């Protein structure tokens, strides 16, 4: 269980999309301050939201952020990107860059802030995966989210000794810029964020945010053909 009332929170990619919804839900649950990052941060009107610059693919940028944010109780690794075309339609360098952002970005931030969380009593790390950690057909993005899922599960073991709760979040299409062009049913980001807040308060390890996500997690125990996206 993680106390949110009075907490200081870091949300990477927290100025738009799901990250913005996480920041709002955490403030609503009583967080004192939410540091919201963007590659080019914009001013916020709510003084409880503190915009800061972060490029998760850049060690120096993460180090600068850690200097600017000495106290944090909850880290939400939300920042993420995608690239079009399948695995055979992208150069390996492009795939490697996506893995660097989506997987190693979360690791960089967690490494930078784990000692801070420990000093403040444990706190929590939330990593935003996808139903595409499990479902096939999403090319490099799916590879990155499967790797991030594994990273989260190992971090949960490594951070247990310092009392840090680690929450992995799986979700299908959610109404943000990332999938703006797709005419499909989408989750409301506020609903996903509310489930994450509940998981933090209850001390849970995983959020399966919607029906499609619960379907694909169950399908992991069936034939591999069942993991194909329709």
Binding site for ligand NAP (CB under 6 A): 12-13, 15-19, 38-39, 54-57, 78-81, 101, 128, 130, 171, 173-174, 176-179
Choosing from 22, 35, 113, 141, the catalytic residue is: 141
SS3 category, 208: strand
Structure tokens at 78: 């939300």
Q: Fill in the DSSP letter of residue 228.
A: B
Nearest to ligand NAP of 122, 155 (CB atom)? 155
In the complex, least distance from residue 213 CB atom to ligand NAP, rounded to whole angstroms: 9
Active site residue 35: no
What is the DSSP code (8-state) at residue 40?
A: S
In the bound state with ligand NAP, the residue whose beta carbon lies nearer, of 18 and 29, is: 18
State which residue, 101 or 155, has the beta carbon closest to ligand NAP.
Answer: 101
CB of 44 to ligand NAP, least distance (A): 13
- Cβ at position 147, least distance to ligand NAP in Å: 12
Cα 127 to Cα 35, 44, 105, 166, 181: the distances in Å are: 16, 24, 11, 8, 25
**DSSP-assigned states of every residue in 107-153:** HHHHHHHHHHHHHTT--EEEEE--GGGTSB--HHHHHHHHHHHHHHH
Task: Enumerate the active-site residues.
Answer: 141
């Amino acid at each position: 269980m993680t106390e949110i009332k009075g907490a200081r929170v870091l949300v990477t990619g927290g100025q738009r999309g799901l990250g913005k919804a996480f920041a709002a839900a955490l403030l609503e649950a009583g967080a004192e301050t939410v540091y919201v990052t963007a590659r080019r941060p914009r001013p916020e009107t709510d003084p409880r939201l503190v915009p800061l610059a972060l490029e998760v693919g850049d060690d120096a940028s993460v180090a600068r952020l850690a200097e600017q944010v000495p106290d944090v109780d909850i880290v939400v690794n939300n920042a993420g990107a995608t690239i079009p075309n399948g695995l055979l339609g992208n150069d390996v360098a492009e795939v490697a860059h996506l893995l660097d952002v989506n997987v190693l970005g979360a690791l960089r931030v967690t490494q930078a802030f784990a000692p801070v969380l420990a000093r403040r009593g444990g706190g929590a790390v939330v990593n935003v995966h996808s139903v595409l950690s499990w479902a096939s057909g999403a090319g490099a993005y799916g590879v990155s989210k499967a790797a991030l899922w594994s990273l989260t599960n190992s971090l949960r073991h490594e951070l247990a000794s310092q009392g840090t709760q680690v929450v992995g979040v799986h979700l299908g299409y959610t109404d943000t810029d990332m999938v703006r062009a797709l005419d499909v049913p989408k989750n409301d980001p506020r609903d996903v964020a509310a489930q994450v807040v509940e998981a933090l308060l209850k001390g849970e390890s995983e959020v399966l945010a919607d029906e499609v996500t619960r379907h694909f997690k169950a399908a992991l125990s069936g034939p591999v053909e069942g993991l194909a996206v329709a």
